[in-house]
Amino acid sequence: MTNEYRKTLCDIDLILEQLGEEERNKVPAKLRKLIHDNKLENYTSNIRVDIPLEDQKLSDNTNAFLAMLYINYWTEDENEKLELQKIFNENEDKYQKELSEKYNVDNLFKNRNTNKAEQSEQPVQEQNQIVEYKESIIKRILNKIFSFFKRR
């Protein structure tokens, strides 16, 4: 388990402690114990209990975990659950679409080809020439001597 995830569990544990008994008990005891046992012990949460949660800057992981808790345990209206699930699915689809556009193989090669086309339009200042490599006489003599030893 990563430290980032364990920090999230620390934030969630603090939030659960601040909830009323009725709301806290809606979350299963096993899950609360799992959260409490796996949180990062030496981490001091940035969550302030005197400020409402919506006014605080929570991490994306903490927001996602709270959303999961809300939709699974605190929402009692089925219509609201369905609406939230629809929103979550739309957001996930939008995110996956952005990823596929960003990392689309065709677009990657297209960008590379356009960069090459832009470079080819610029005047070439340096011409590469083929350089013929000639072994020195000493190197050739040594190679001949070594070849005699390799044969035997």
Convert the pLDDT of each residue in 63-105 to its tens digit.
888 888 888 888 888 888 888 888 888 988 998 998 888 887 7
CA distance 7 to 39: 6
**81/32 same-domain check:** no
**25/52 same-domain check:** yes
Q: What range does the domain containing 89 cover?
A: 77-105
**31/88 same-domain check:** no
**23/64 same-domain check:** yes
Helix, strand, or coil (residue 137): helix
**51/95 same-domain check:** no
**70/82 same-domain check:** no
Evaluate whether residue 18 is within a structural domain.
Answer: yes
Convert the pLDDT of each residue in 101-137 to its tens digit.
888 777 666 656 555 555 555 555 566 777 777 777 7
Domain count, the chain: 2
